[in-house]
Every structure is written in C-alpha cells, then in structure tokens.
C-alpha cells in the first residue's frame, strides 16, 4: 500500500495570516500613495494572488512590481507575531506525523515562511519546505509538485495538496494530485472540508492502521 503524503499551502490554510498580509499591503500602498480598499484587496488576493495584485498595480501606475514586493515583504516580516495558526492546525499536523504521513509545504510566501513555521514550533513536521524563493514556477504550474513527486517517490493518487483557494485546487489538478480544500470544485479529486479537523475523516483508504486519536483544543 502506497504511503499517503500531504503538501500544505500556508496562508489561509495552516496560517491565519490574511490580516497581517492585508496590513502589509496597506503600508506598502501608503508608501507609494496608492489608494487602498481593504475588502477589494482581500477579494482580489483570495481569487488570484498578492503577486498578481502587485503586478497589476505596478502596471497601472508605472511602478516596479519587484520594488513593491520587496517593500511589502519587509513590512510583512515585521508582522510575524500577528500570524497565528488556523484552528486545528497543530493537531492535524501531529495526527499526520503520528500516522506516518509524510508532509511538505509549497507556498507562494518567501523564505519568511520558514521563520514563521520555526517560531510556531512547526518546522520539524515537514520533510521539505518550498517557497517562492525555491525557484519553481508559481501555482498552478505543476513544477513544484513534479519535483516533490520525483525526489521522494510519492504516489500522486495518495498525495494531497491542502489549500484554501481555487488556485490550490487547480495546482493539484494540474499536478495529478488529490486536493483537500475549503472550497467546492468540479475537480473530482477535490475533497472539501469545513475545518482542518475534517481531514482525518476524509478517506478510509488511509487505513485503519494509520488512524490515531484526533482531538482539537477547545
């Protein structure tokens, strides 16, 4: 029986970080005198990405998107303390670890992601952490997944990309992976969850021998 593997997204999935992200964007826009509407920005980055937002704003205002991103990244790094775990995150990571499920991260965050995971005491759960600075094409390109599948001899049918956006489902689909997501999708490989605590109950295929108790903190 092939082993199960989890590849995790971070923002909005394991990390409750959108308020810190929005605050960083607001500060960046302020430095460049760019009008900021929180709800419009939130809606845009949930549908697309922060990078897409910065590139669009840079084009509209004849600015350098890379400079905008550097300013935003510095602002966000100063807000690490504002980033907290999503409910059930620590418990589901521990569940997977005890069940022998190999775990990875692929995120569009920069290497600051490693600092956040280390500060939260989570870094040791992951075999490898891939960030925007790892050199792979951005989601939904399957490039990062192909790297992990090949390097660790993972079975795509038993490898789940866990995320919170349509982009994450598209990445899983393009990569031939299973998907666990907070959203509905027409992709037949997608398993919708309401909360992270749902993950251990998704598939009986993980096997009774892999089952461990899973209790979230109250």
Q: For every one of its 218 residues, what pLDDT tens digit does the chain have, with 9 covering 90 and above?
A: 568 999 999 999 999 999 999 999 999 999 999 999 999 999 999 888 898 999 999 999 999 999 999 999 888 888 888 899 999 999 999 999 999 999 999 999 988 899 999 999 999 999 999 999 999 999 999 999 999 999 999 999 999 999 999 999 999 999 999 999 999 999 999 999 999 999 998 855 555 444 444 444 43
Question: What pLDDT is attached to residue 209?
Answer: 40
- Do 184 and 167 contact (CB within 8 A), yes or no? no
If DSSP codes are grouped into helix, strand and coil, which group holds residue 9?
coil
One domain, residues 97 and 200 = yes
Residue from 46, 44, 43 nearest 9 by CA: 46
- To which H or E segment does residue 92 belong? helix 89-98
Residue 217 lies in a domain: no
pLDDT of residue 73: 86
- Region label for 159, one of left (φ > 0), alpha (ψ between -120 and 50) or beta (otherwise): beta
Distance CA 188, CA 178 (A): 9
Identify whether 159 is part of a domain.
yes
- 61, 82, 103: which is the final residue of a domain? 82
Cβ atoms of 167 and 63 closer than 8 Å = no
User: Would 218 be classed as within a structural domain?
Assistant: no
The enclosing domain of 164 has a CATH number of 3.40.50.1000
Q: Supply the pLDDT for residue 46.
A: 87
Range of 33's domain?
18-82
Same domain, 73 and 149: no
pLDDT at 76: 86
pLDDT value at residue 78: 87
What is residue 1's predicted lDDT score, i.e. its pLDDT? 52
Instruction: Examine the domain organization and report whether 116 and 144 are in the same domain.
Output: yes
What's the distance, CA 112 to chain centroid? 13
The structural domain count of the chain equals 2
Whether residues 75 and 91 share a domain: the answer is no
Are residues 64 and 155 located together in one domain of the fold?
no
- 138: in domain: yes
Instruction: For residue 90, give the 3-state DSSP assignment.
Output: helix
**End of a domain among 82, 111, 129?**
82
């Amino acid at each position: 029986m092939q082993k199960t593997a989890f590849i995790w997204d971070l923002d909005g999935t394991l990390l409750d970080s959108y308020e810190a992200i929005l605050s960083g964007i607001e500060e960046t826009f302020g430095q460049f005198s760019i009008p900021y509407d929180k709800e419009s920005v939130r809606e845009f980055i949930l549908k697309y990405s922060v990078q897409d937002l910065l590139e669009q704003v840079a084009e509209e205002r004849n600015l350098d998107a890379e400079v905008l991103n550097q300013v935003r990244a510095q602002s966000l790094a100063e807000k690490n303390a504002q980033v907290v775990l999503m409910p059930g995150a620590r418990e589901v990571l521990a569940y997977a670890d005890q069940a022998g499920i190999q775990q990875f991260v692929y995120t569009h965050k920069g290497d600051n992601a490693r600092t956040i995971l280390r500060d939260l005491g989570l870094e040791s759960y992951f075999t490898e952490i891939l960030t925007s600075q790892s050199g792979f094409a951005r989601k939904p390109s399957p490039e990062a997944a192909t790297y992990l599948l090949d390097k660790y001899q993972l079975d795509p049918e038993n490898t789940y990309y866990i995320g919170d956006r349509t982009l994450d489902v598209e990445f899983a689909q393009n990569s031939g992976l299973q998907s666990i997501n907070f959203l509905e999708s027409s992709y037949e490989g997608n398993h919708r969850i309401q909360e992270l605590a749902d993950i251990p109950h998704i598939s009986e295929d993980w096997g009774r021998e892999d089952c461990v108790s899973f209790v979230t903190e109250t």
